[in-house]
Amino acid sequence: MTDKKSISSALAKRDKKEKYIIYFVGAAVLLFVLVGLKEISQSNPYLSAPAWFGFLGGIFTLWRFCKKQTENPFASIFRTLKDDYAFDRYITLQLFNIFYAIGQGLGVGAGFGFFVDWIHALISNSYLKGVYFSGFVVSLLSVVILRVTIEVYSIIYKAAIEFRDYMKAKK
């Protein structure tokens, strides 16, 4: 614990320019380690960077989503499924939240994996540079498209619920 405090206090004493240099060097070292691992694992097709980073990103964002909730979201979903026979409680918006958390992790993780593959293709002068960069862009755009799609569905869903309540009150 004292090591963590000493590192953070040492970093706090640095000015902004030095911090950016330290972060840049750390990110460059991490990227070169990942590219080196890609070079080593190129003979094994099961070590695809976009697939593994996408999978790990999906698990990580699902963990972050559950950690930020006051109640376990899966418990409330299962409780609604188990106890609601009159269909007066809905789980659709809760499921949208979970789908977005998983989709965000998959998209950002796969994008990072394609970025690592793209850097590796640049270093090794591979002919797949364009494919990997396109995969990077498509992965990040898929997160934006997923977000917009879920927001549109949730707006329509909420409007339908409000319209139903309005019609009930009108009778």
Tell me, yes or no, whether 1 lies in a domain: no
* Residue 10 binned pLDDT confidence (cut-offs 50, 70, 90): low
State residue 76's pLDDT score.
81
> Six-digit token pair at 65?
């989503």
Same domain, 92 and 29: no
Q: Are 148 and 69 in the same domain?
A: yes
Residue 151 domain-assigned (yes or no): yes
**42/58 same-domain check:** no
Residues 41 and 103 in one domain: no
- Give pLDDT, residue 6: 63
pTM: 0.70
Residue 3 within any structural domain of the chain: no
Q: Please state the domain count of the chain.
A: 2
* Position 36 pLDDT exceeds 90: no
Q: Count of CB atoms within 10 A of residue 33's CB?
A: 11
Across the chain, mean pLDDT equals 82
What is the tens place of the pLDDT at every residue in 88-146? 677 878 888 889 999 999 999 999 888 888 887 888 777 888 888 999 999 999 999 99
My answer on whether 99 and 116 are in the same domain is yes
Domain interval for residue 162? 48-170
CA dihedral 74, 150, 57, 67 (to 10 degrees): -40
